[in-house]
Amino acid sequence: MAANGTDGPMSACARFRKMLAQPNHTVTAAGVYDGISARLALNEGFKCLYMTGAGTAASVLGMPDLGITNMTDMATNAGMICGLDPTVPVIADADTGFGEPLVVARTVRAYMAAGVAAMHIEDQPLNKRCGHLGSKELVSEDIYFKRLRAAAQTRDTLRGQTGQDIIIIARTDSLQSLGYEAAVDRLKRSREAGAEVAFLEGITSMEQCEKVCKDLEGMPVLLNMVSGGVTPELSVHEANKLGFKIVIFPSAVLSVVMEAAQKQLRHLMETGRQIVTTYREQKGPRYLFEAMGMSECVEFDKEVGGQSYVKGI
């Protein structure tokens, strides 16, 4: 069934809902932030992607995750990632929703138009920061639930009008300052505001990992596995045993790319030579272009009668 209830192709959001409905199954979402990282994750067969806000700020703006990105930055990047394979659901960071209820509504419309399957909205102020940094501030519960209600109402309206859909994920950063019980209470009440998935950010102990899914029974819970972050390192299998329905790995690619690039650039600066890697052995630029879908592009051009690549590449 299509998202609008008629026979037809399944939307990315409908596909994601089906994943969440599978018993004893945990969705693994590879963290991506640009076209290269997204393509590589798709090539490896990941069935769900996560667009990281921190990675978007870094790759699109060259800036830290301090609330500097705006809705256009994020929605544009999300749309590019979603467009690479519209059958693969993309979960996208939506920070605070980027403003008051009317702005949140605009954000939801933009994310839905971009093809995003699920988005998370948090309870930090607009000058937010990465959830694994210290001294995070919070907005009041009133402001937080207004954001979620605005998001949910916009989703419901567009679902009725167009058949489009998106899953609203409630993220709370209140664990750090208010403690576990208060944070879980916020997530429980987020359901009344229209959220469908709970995201307790910055979990700091195995005890919290073991409790949160039980305490939020009946609501799918997302686990954020930030490389080197404050949360105990869990595999997808371990997270599944604890009851988590989604595990995102925001920095899995970004962390190793940054380390490798820094090493290469430092070596080039110091020696005037680049480190020769297996990249050259894999036919250099062709290796990159093939990973980015060159063969499929050439084949499409031929199928529609194009003459650009008849002599090959």
130 is catalytic: yes
93 is catalytic: yes
Q: What's the pLDDT score for residue 39?
A: 97
Catalytic option among 15, 147, 171, 186: 171
Q: Do 173 and 287 fall into the same domain?
A: no
Q: What's the pLDDT score for residue 2?
A: 46
Q: Do 231 and 294 fall into the same domain?
A: no
d(CA 168, CA 155): 8
122 is catalytic: yes
Q: Do 30 and 155 fall into the same domain?
A: yes
Q: Do 248 and 285 fall into the same domain?
A: no
Q: Is residue 240 part of a domain?
A: yes
Catalytic option among 33, 201, 209, 213: 201
Q: Do 154 and 286 fall into the same domain?
A: no
d(CA 166, CA 119): 7
Catalytic option among 33, 48, 77, 122: 122
Q: Is residue 309 part of a domain?
A: no
Q: Which long-range contacts (CB under 8 A, 24 or more apart) does 39-46 make?
A: 39/84, 39/291, 39/292, 39/293, 40/253, 40/291, 41/253, 42/84, 42/85, 42/88, 43/291, 46/88
Tokens of 229: 């972050």
25 is catalytic: no
165 is catalytic: no
CA angle, residues 179, 184, 187, in degrees to nearest 5: 130
- Only one residue has tokens 């008629």, namely 6
Q: Is residue 4 part of a domain?
A: no
Count: domains in the chain: 2
Q: Is residue 6 part of a domain?
A: no
d(CA 122, CA 125): 9
Domain coverage including residue 118 = 12-258
34 is catalytic: no
Catalytic option among 65, 123, 173, 196: 65
171 is catalytic: yes
Q: What's the pLDDT score for residue 280?
A: 59
Q: Do 218 and 92 fall into the same domain?
A: yes
Q: Do 46 and 176 fall into the same domain?
A: yes
Q: Do 133 and 198 fall into the same domain?
A: yes
Q: Do 169 and 253 fall into the same domain?
A: yes
201 is catalytic: yes
Q: Do 168 and 51 fall into the same domain?
A: yes
Catalytic option among 34, 95, 123, 165: 95
Q: Which long-range contacts (CB under 8 A, 24 or more apart) does 291-299 make?
A: 291/39, 291/40, 291/43, 292/35, 292/36, 292/39, 293/39
Overall pTM > 0.95: no
Q: Do 283 and 171 fall into the same domain?
A: no
Q: What's the pLDDT score for residue 1?
A: 38
d(CA 175, CA 186): 10
Per-residue pLDDT of the chain (313 residues; tens, 9 = 90+): 344 444 568 999 999 999 999 999 999 999 999 999 999 999 999 999 999 999 999 999 999 999 999 999 999 999 999 999 999 999 999 999 999 999 999 999 999 999 999 999 999 988 887 878 777 889 999 999 999 999 999 999 999 999 999 999 999 999 999 999 999 999 999 999 999 999 999 999 999 999 999 999 999 999 999 988 999 999 999 999 999 999 999 999 999 999 999 999 999 999 999 988 776 566 678 888 888 888 898 889 888 988 888 777 7
Q: Is residue 270 part of a domain?
A: no
- For residue 121, the domain's CATH number is 3.20.20.60
